[in-house]
Amino acid sequence: MNTPFRVLVIDDEVGIREGCRRVLVPQGFDVDMAENGPTGLRKLREARYDVLLLDIMMPGMSGIEVLRQIRQMDPDLICIVITGYATVELAIQAIREGAHDFIAKPFSADLLLQVIGRELERRALRKEAERLRALEEETRELARAKAELQKLEAVEGRFMLTLVHILRAPVAVLQNTIQLIRKGYIPPEEQPEMLERAETRAGQLLATLDDLLLLAHLREGIGLSRAEAVSLGEVLEGVLATLKPRAERQGVTLAVDVRDSLRVRANPDHLRALLTHLIDNAIRYTPSGGQVTISLMADPERGVVVGAVSDTGIGIPADEIPRIFEEFYRTEEGKRMQEMGTGLGLPIVRQVVEMYGGTIEVESEVGWGSTFRFTLPLG
């Protein structure tokens, strides 16, 4: 044996202790001995053993008491009870207390070696089974990680293709406009209209890039350090001042219901992005004559602000609702109603809400409108 197995014999009979030592040492075992339970427990605390040969009937502390104390000490320790009072009841009690096997006195050298060898082999098999189970679990984890990586790579590939497709359109319009004007194909009186369309496309391109940058910052947690106690009502006022002209041009009425003085701890820019994208989307997909309603209220019992943006717009088909928070995703009806759009507004909304420990849910019915309801922890 390269590393000898260590055996501790706890028995009050010196003859048994010495007999075990004479049998085991020539077989390569390293044998230690103790004449009583307390001495044996001290040795077990001070060193590590592979096998414990334990007498049940000893003066002072019995073998059963020793078993009870060492149960949590070393789960790999093989405990073999040796006694001259071999009864079925005693054997059952010893096994219940953690013993692995039972040898009745007097016993032969062959029987002692046979029992120890069998228990060591069982332990080796048990350890090998545990190693194989751990290896199988590691293999399963690696397979799951590989599958996730492949999924991420596929998502990244689709993301890049979609991004190129979205950015290519406005860039192509800008390039064509510049070329037509530079080559003199556009009369001077038509150039303002062409330049206005080019400017619109440039604005679309910048909006897409700004949204991409914001989404990347949100996912990296950039800006969280600037969190402060913010009045959500004041942020809403600023957002509405920006979006109200658009709503008026489109013939959409804005209704506001802010019932409480609401403060949340967040980066004001993040809250501004949250409200801007929700309200802008609602205006964008609500036909002339419709209404967008924004409400904010406190829910003290839950410790949150509850916000809702409702519209009387085109609505979202039920089968498309699970996808509306995906990057660049736009419903077919939404594309028909509004040609331009980044498809990044709702992903930004969800990222902001989840970043601050809130929730967001959607209710919608085609032809009747949608309601986006979110919560944020009260500051």
**Are 151 and 292 in a shared domain?**
no
**Are 96 and 199 in a shared domain?**
no
Mean pLDDT over 104-116 rounds to 89
Rounded-to-integer distance, Cα 102 and Cα 236, Å: 79
Order of strands, edge to edge, in the sheet holding 304-311? 253-258, 291-299, 304-311, 369-377, 359-365
Number of domains in the chain: 3
- Residue 34 domain-assigned (yes or no): yes
Q: According to the model, what pLDDT value does residue 144 have?
A: 82
CB atoms within 10 A of CB 11: 26
Q: According to the model, what pLDDT value does residue 86 have?
A: 57
Single out the residue in 203, 235, 250 at which a domain terminates: 203
Q: According to the model, what pLDDT value does residue 186 have?
A: 84
Class of residue 183 by CB neighbours under 10 A (exposed 0-12, middle 13-18, buried 19+):
exposed
What are the pLDDT digits (tens) for 204-250? Answer: 778 778 887 888 888 888 777 788 999 999 999 999 999 999 999 99
**Are 196 and 269 in a shared domain?**
no
Both structure tokens of 83: 């006694």
CB 260 within 8 A of CB 378: no
Q: How far from the centroid of its chain's Cα atoms is residue 149's Cα? A: 15
**Are 49 and 164 in a shared domain?**
no
**Are 171 and 262 in a shared domain?**
no
Both structure tokens of 251: 């013939």
- Residue 93 domain-assigned (yes or no): yes
Q: Tokens 């809403």 belong to which residue?
A: 236
What are the pLDDT digits (tens) for 7-59? Answer: 999 998 899 999 999 999 999 999 999 999 899 999 999 999 999 999 888 88
Class of residue 70 by CB neighbours under 10 A (exposed 0-12, middle 13-18, buried 19+):
buried
What are the pLDDT digits (tens) for 227-238? Answer: 899 999 999 999
The pLDDT > 70 percentage for the chain reads 92
**Are 349 and 250 in a shared domain?**
yes
Whether residue 85 is predicted with pLDDT greater than 80 in this model: the reply is no
Q: According to the model, what pLDDT value does residue 217 have?
A: 83
| Residue 328 structural domain | 224-377
What stretches of the chain adopt beta strand conformation (E)? 6-10, 30-34, 51-55, 78-83, 101-104, 228-231, 253-258, 263-266, 291-299, 304-311, 359-365, 369-377
Q: According to the model, what pLDDT value does residue 345 have?
A: 87
Q: φ and ψ at 310, to 5 degrees?
A: -115, 150
The CB-side HSE value for 39 (13 A sphere, CA atoms) comes to 14
pTM of the predicted structure, to 2 decimals = 0.54
CA-closest candidate to residue 295, choices 281, 279, 283: 279
**Are 173 and 70 in a shared domain?**
no
Q: According to the model, what pLDDT value does residue 235 have?
A: 94
CB 120 within 8 A of CB 101: no
CB atoms within 10 A of CB 167: 15
**Are 41 and 162 in a shared domain?**
no
Q: According to the model, what pLDDT value does residue 162 have?
A: 66
What are the pLDDT digits (tens) for 153-189? Answer: 665 556 666 666 667 777 777 888 888 888 888 888 8
Confidence of residue 1 (pLDDT cuts 50, 70, 90): very low
Domain of 53, CATH number, reads: 3.40.50.2300
**Are 61 and 153 in a shared domain?**
no
